[in-house]
């Protein structure tokens, strides 16, 4: 149930509305807009069915939420959620690009990548310290030492860090080094992990599962938000279908659907969606045109030597070219793009 207050509602009236709802055994969530405040009622809505909510001072209208996800629903927030990410707000007017290697492989390559992607206009650094791999014999990341390198790269570059957490036992360590905790596609329905990251005061980047529906994704976000962490970033990274020409099938239609269903920001990952470097740029253009709030792009100094996902990684020059080519698409979508750093004069 959603209660919309009238314009000019007082704090005393808001407190009274919340007290009335909570006295019936429900929880309330407050979302303030420019002119109105929305009070979300979380719990058994049947307890409110016979309550004359419209008679409470300050209440303008009452709306039931029919969707199985409540906190993530568009109606549950007075405005779209914006999440601070370094110097920018994800979900605002700027298209935010997060870039970096699939996995942290060493200090030199990570520092080189951080400096390069920042110079090209990236707003955050991505890199995996813990890597979920299909084969147990594949490189699975540098683990704790990789987290330390990411933290050092953040200090050196000024870029906030996005990295994956795979297990509830890793949450505290990852949260101590990263600015954004990523829950990967394989863990989208790991409900114990979703609950645990929901208790941490860090934004959570939630990737859509390999065969997950949009409702599945939003219900996974609900697990995080139910714990009090409302800073969830959704990521469309392609789903598994019968098509074999690409690594995954990029569901570009999911982006406008999510933008209409939820107030949460939406990223697109063209690297995992296509699986090949030549597909990254066209899928990125499509994502921007469809309304994505940002992009997650894999970049490596020398993709041919990458220990994971080299085929879909851009090198520094290719990433710079992509950022330049994005400009007209970003402008057409009514957004802005971070300016590239100008080389120092010699």
Residue-averaged pLDDT of the chain: 93
| pLDDT > 70 fraction of the chain, expressed in percent and rounded | 98
The model's pTM is: 0.89
pLDDT value at residue 184: 95
* End-to-end alpha carbon distance in the chain: 63
Helix spans in the chain (H): 11-22, 107-120, 144-157, 171-175, 191-198, 214-226, 254-261, 270-274, 277-290, 316-332
pLDDT value at residue 137: 65
pLDDT mean over 16-35 = 89
| pLDDT > 90 fraction of the chain, expressed in percent and rounded | 79
Q: Which residue has the higher pLDDT, 320 or 46?
A: 320
pLDDT (tens digit, 9 = 90+) per residue, 58-102? Answer: 999 998 887 889 899 998 888 999 999 988 999 999 999 999 999
Q: How buried is 290 (Cβ within 10 angstroms: 0-12 exposed, 13-18 middle, 19+ buried)? A: buried
Backbone angles phi, psi at 337, to 5 degrees: -130, 140
Q: Where in the chain is the domain with CATH 3.20.20.70?
A: 83-337
- What does the block give as tokens for 96? 């935010």
| Residue 132 in this model has a pLDDT that exceeds 80 | no
pLDDT (tens digit, 9 = 90+) per residue, 288-342? Answer: 999 999 999 999 999 999 998 899 999 999 999 999 999 999 999 999 999 888 6
| Residue 167 in this model has a pLDDT that exceeds 70 | yes
pLDDT mean over 155-171 = 95
Q: Where in the chain is the domain with CATH 3.30.70.1140?
A: 2-64
pLDDT value at residue 143: 82
Among 3.55.50.30, 3.20.20.70, 3.30.2090.10, 3.40.1280.10, what is the CATH number of 83-337?
3.20.20.70
Superfamily of domain covering 2-64 = Phospho-2-dehydro-3-deoxyheptonate aldolase; domain 1 (3.30.70.1140)
């Amino acid at each position: 149930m959603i209660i919309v207050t009238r314009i000019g509602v007082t704090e005393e009236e808001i407190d009274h509305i919340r007290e009335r709802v909570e006295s019936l055994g429900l929880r309330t969530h407050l979302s303030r807009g420019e002119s109105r405040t929305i009070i979300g009622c979380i719990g058994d809505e049947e307890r409110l069915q016979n309550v004359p909510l419209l008679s409470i001072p300050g209440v303008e209208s009452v709306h039931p939420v029919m969707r199985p996800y409540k906190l993530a629903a568009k109606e549950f927030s007075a405005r779209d959620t914006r999440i601070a990410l370094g110097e920018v707000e994800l979900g605002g007017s700027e298209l935010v690009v997060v870039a970096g290697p699939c996995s942290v492989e060493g200090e030199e390559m990570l520092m080189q990548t951080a400096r390069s992607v920042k110079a090209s206009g990236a707003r955050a650094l991505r890199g995996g310290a813990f890597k979920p791999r299909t084969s147990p014999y594949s490189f699975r990341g540098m683990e704790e030492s990789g987290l330390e390198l990411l933290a050092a790269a953040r200090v050196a570059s000024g870029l906030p860090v996005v990295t994956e957490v795979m297990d509830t036992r890793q949450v505290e360590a990852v949260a101590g080094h990263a600015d954004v905790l990523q829950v990967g596609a394989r863990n989208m329905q790991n409900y114990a992990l979703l609950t645990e990251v929901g208790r941490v005061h860090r934004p959570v980047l939630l990737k859509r599962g390999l065969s997950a529906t949009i409702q599945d994704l939003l219900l996974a976000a609900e697990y995080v938000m139910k714990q009090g962490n409302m800073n969830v970033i959704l990521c469309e990274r392609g789903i598994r279908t019968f098509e074999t020409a690409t690594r995954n099938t990029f569901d570009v239609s999911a982006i406008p659907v999510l933008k209409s269903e939820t107030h949460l920001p939406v990223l697109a990952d063209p690297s995992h969606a296509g699986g090949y470097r030549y597909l990254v740029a066209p899928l990125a253009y499509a994502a921007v045109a469809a309304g994505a709030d940002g992009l997650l792009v894999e970049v490596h100094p020398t993709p041919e030597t990458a220990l994971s996902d080299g085929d879909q990684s851009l090198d520094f020059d290719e990433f710079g070219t992509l950022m330049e080519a994005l400009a007209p698409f970003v402008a057409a979508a009514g957004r802005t793009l971070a300016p590239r750093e100008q080389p120092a004069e010699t």
